[in-house]
Amino acid sequence: MTVRIAAIAHAVPGRQTTNAEVVALVREQSRPRIGSERADSVGDLVARFLDAAGTDVRYRLADDEKAIDVVLRASRDALAEAGVATGDVDLVLYTGVARGWMEPATATVVSQPVITNRFVSGTDFILQGSGGTPLLAYTVLDSTNVALPRTNWTSVGVSTFDSSGDFSFTHTNGFSLSTNRLFYSIQVP
């Protein structure tokens, strides 16, 4: 068996904060509590510490960004660089300085659940699949138009992946000969 590293990628959060912005914020937030003169002194001290740290910019999550978004961006970039599909990956190593999840649990979040089977039982439509994060909640969405953005799809229910990351979801009364074709998607947080 041959093991190799096919690609390495990194990503940083979308919002940049400069040393000057940090110092300004420290001064602004300190003034009501300790007065202008002391707030300026604290700001000067913070500026010296930041200068000594040797970096001018820090990265933090944008308002609409989560830690997993940064992980997923790096993962997708590495997969694209390596020319590898997600289903062909046997092992993901994640290293980072933030703790969105305790490692190695982040690797399972990078994978996406897949619907592997579907069938009808009476008027119920049943979806089964795998590849979810064990014990994580998921939402089943449906739409008659596959081209619609997922934000416009209808939520038909919420459930939880089992301890292996598999799922079986029953869309009660989800099947009717008179209903237009429905498309389904599994949405995870």
Same domain assignment for residues 120 and 99: no
Enumerate residues 6+ apart whose C-beta is below 8 A from 75. Answer: 9, 92, 110
Same domain assignment for residues 94 and 128: no
Domain boundary among 66, 91, 106: 106
Please state the rounded mean pLDDT for residues 109-137. Answer: 82
- CA gap 39, 125 in Å, rounded: 63
Task: Indicate whether this model's pTM tops 0.75.
Answer: no
Same domain assignment for residues 88 and 119: no
How many structural domains compose the chain?
Answer: 2
Model pLDDT, residue 91: 67
- CA gap 188, 25 in Å, rounded: 35
| Residue 96 confidence class, pLDDT cut points 50, 70, 90 | low
Same domain assignment for residues 132 and 70: no
Q: Evaluate whether 167 touches 185 at the Cβ level (below 8 Å).
A: no
User: Left, alpha or beta for 158 (phi > 0: left; psi -120 to 50: alpha)?
Assistant: beta
Same domain assignment for residues 144 and 179: yes
Give the CATH number, domain containing residue 148.
Answer: 2.60.40
Same domain assignment for residues 48 and 129: no
Same domain assignment for residues 72 and 117: no
Same domain assignment for residues 32 and 46: yes
Range of the domain at 154: 112-187
Same domain assignment for residues 151 and 92: no
Domain boundary among 78, 106, 134: 106
Same domain assignment for residues 102 and 117: no
pLDDT tens column, 132-158: 888 888 999 988 888 888 889 999 999
pLDDT tens column, 12-27: 899 999 999 999 999 9
Same domain assignment for residues 82 and 169: no
Residue from 187, 8, 174 nearest 80 by CA: 8
Same domain assignment for residues 82 and 118: no
